[in-house]
Amino acid sequence: MPLDPAPLYFRTALLAEGWARHVRIETHGGLVARIETGVPPAPGDEVHAIALPGLPNLHSHAFQRGMAGLAERRGAGDDSFWTWREVMYRFLDRLGPEDMQGIAALAYMEMLETGFTRVGEFHYLHHAPDGRPYADPAEMAAAIAAAAAETGIALTLLPVFYAHSGFGGLPPGEGQRRFICDLDQFARLREGCRTVLAALPDTVLGVAPHSLRAVTSGELAQLLELAMDGPVHIHIAEQTREVEDCLAWSGQRPVQYLLDRADVDDRWCAVHATHLTTEECVRLAASGAVAGLCPITEANLGDGLFPAPAFLAAGGRFGIGSDSNVLIDPSEELRLLEYGQRLHARRRNILADADHTGNGAGNRTSSGATLFGAALAGGARALGVAAGIGQGRAADIVSLDANHPSLIGRTEDGLLDGWIFAAGRGGIDCVWRRGRRVVSRGRHQAREAIAARYAGMISRLL
């Protein structure tokens, strides 16, 4: 095992128990071995100003980073999620494992540079461009794991089961040929994923029934047996057409249908869950499932606005995901989550009313602290890990630039408000994964090589 890096020292740090001052963190083998607070730095310590825990990104399709900005031209009719999906299907027509690794590496590097330290990869691009399985069913998953290894990001891999094109087990379309598995193929794929992950630290393996459009309730029951204690993620109620189709087919809305047929509990992440009735908000919150909100992508695709006040009032938990990766930045996800609600309600500080962090800190008046705490706790829960900087956990830490104009003179929760609402990615200084610095002054250590490889590859693909 390589030597442990020098202990980190911060003037102020957001630990799992809350804010602390003069914090010294020793790591051993990538884990936090010892935390001291209220102490001076020791000779040889690496001294920084402000530490936050790295945030979990609970929902990503890494390859979609390669088509960011390509679907922003108006077509002949009304553009929607469904016309965007046609552009996406065309983009992945020629994408091979090397392309997957190159694009995923760029996306994961940008995640680290903006303060995400773990990604939940909702991985459905399994087969070769002609739809035939690769000799190794986990070939594409291996490319994702290689990108995680290159960049250092922690990986929760969520291999996707995708079998149908619409409610009621409709046969898949031609554009879906690279995603489709039967249950036996999927079990082999998942075993392949387990092997791939064994070479990386801190990995978690889950299972992702793609959506109620792509999976029948019988298949869902069998998938849940495979999942055991791991995370279960599903896209749900993202689009009004999806809700209408589900109603027409079953007489129920998607979330109602799911809650009536599956044992949804706190292992689950309901990705998007945009269109909920108040009753569905209450039931989903009571199940313990995390709502996987992706505000930038949901805005980009014109999905709709998540009913956050009703869901949070019912005690619901949420995390954030970068989903289509059209723009990667957790501060922007959190800002847009709050701003969508402000625009709708014509009021300010909508989501700051209560404590959503679950750490017993009582009511918080800071929007930034509430959003950050909720996304940290909910995201970690959804990705199958413990949240925050604490003994025995991976030393995944983000430091803010105390000299950024929007952070000067701020303390504690005020730093989170300053970062999320004003500084954005310019406020990030360094990022450590397992105690090793991977980002300095906002730039990943491998940025040049990863960006150069990506540039060559994407010009070919386009």
Judge residue 261's burial from the number of C-beta atoms within 10 Å of its C-beta, 0-12 exposed, 13-18 middle, 19 or more buried.
Answer: middle
Judge residue 102's burial from the number of C-beta atoms within 10 Å of its C-beta, 0-12 exposed, 13-18 middle, 19 or more buried.
Answer: buried
Find the part of the chain contacting Zn ion (CB under 5 A) among 101-109, 126-134, 316-324, 402-410. 316-324
Active site includes 323? yes
Task: Find out whether 382 and 290 touch, Cβ atoms under 8 Å.
Answer: yes
Q: Which is nearer to Zn ion, 150 or 323 (CB)?
A: 323
Q: Which is nearer to Zn ion, 323 or 429 (CB)?
A: 323
Residues 266-295 that bind Zn ion (CB under 5 A): none
Task: Find out whether 178 and 126 touch, Cβ atoms under 8 Å.
Answer: yes
Closest approach, Cβ 323 to Zn ion, in A, equals 5
Tokens of residue 13, six digits: 């740090």
Tokens of residue 309, six digits: 């006040």
Residues 72-131 that bind Zn ion (CB under 5 A): none
Residues 380-439 that bind Zn ion (CB under 5 A): none
- Euclidean distance between CA atoms 44 and 34, whole angstroms: 16
Q: Which is nearer to Zn ion, 323 or 396 (CB)?
A: 323
- Euclidean distance between CA atoms 154 and 148, whole angstroms: 7
Task: Find out whether 49 and 400 touch, Cβ atoms under 8 Å.
Answer: yes
Closest approach, Cβ 122 to Zn ion, in A, equals 6
Closest approach, Cβ 287 to Zn ion, in A, equals 20
Closest approach, Cβ 64 to Zn ion, in A, equals 9
Q: Which is nearer to Zn ion, 141 or 395 (CB)?
A: 141
- Euclidean distance between CA atoms 270 and 291, whole angstroms: 5
Count the site residues for Zn ion by CB under 5 A. Answer: 1
Q: If phi over 0 gives left and psi between -120 and 50 gives alpha, with beta otherwise, what is residue 29?
A: left
Q: Which is nearer to Zn ion, 379 or 418 (CB)?
A: 379
For residue 361, which of 341, 352, 297, 278 has the smallest C-alpha distance?
352
The active-site residue, picked from 59, 233, 272, 275, is 272
Closest approach, Cβ 181 to Zn ion, in A, equals 18
Find the part of the chain contacting Zn ion (CB under 5 A) among 103-111, 168-176, 204-212, 320-328. 320-328
Find the part of the chain contacting Zn ion (CB under 5 A) among 7-15, 305-313, 323-331, 336-344. 323-331
Binding string, residues 30-69; x marks residues near Zn ion by CB under 5 A: ----------------------------------------
B/e letters for 193-217, b = 16+ CB within 10 Å, e = fewer, are beebbeebebbbbbbbbbbbbbbee
Find the part of the chain contacting Zn ion (CB under 5 A) among 36-44, 222-230, 321-329, 432-440. 321-329
Helix axes 139-151, 97-114, angle to 10 degrees: 30
Which residue's beta carbon is nearest to the bound Zn ion? 323
Q: Which residues contact 133 (CB under 8 A, 6 or more apart)?
A: 126, 127, 185
Find the part of the chain contacting Zn ion (CB under 5 A) among 9-17, 195-203, 322-330, 385-393. 322-330
Tokens of residue 437, six digits: 């610095």
Q: Which is nearer to Zn ion, 124 or 432 (CB)?
A: 124
Closest approach, Cβ 322 to Zn ion, in A, equals 10
Task: Find out whether 158 and 99 touch, Cβ atoms under 8 Å.
Answer: no
Find the part of the chain contacting Zn ion (CB under 5 A) among 41-49, 223-231, 317-325, 357-365. 317-325
The active-site residue, picked from 99, 303, 323, 417, is 323
For residue 369, which of 53, 49, 36 has the smallest C-alpha distance?
53
Q: Which is nearer to Zn ion, 323 or 332 (CB)?
A: 323
Q: Which is nearer to Zn ion, 180 or 439 (CB)?
A: 180
Binding string, residues 143-182; x marks residues near Zn ion by CB under 5 A: ----------------------------------------
- Euclidean distance between CA atoms 253 and 82, whole angstroms: 19
- Euclidean distance between CA atoms 156 and 117, whole angstroms: 11
Residues with a catalytic annotation lie at 272, 323
Binding site for Zn ion (CB under 5 A): 323
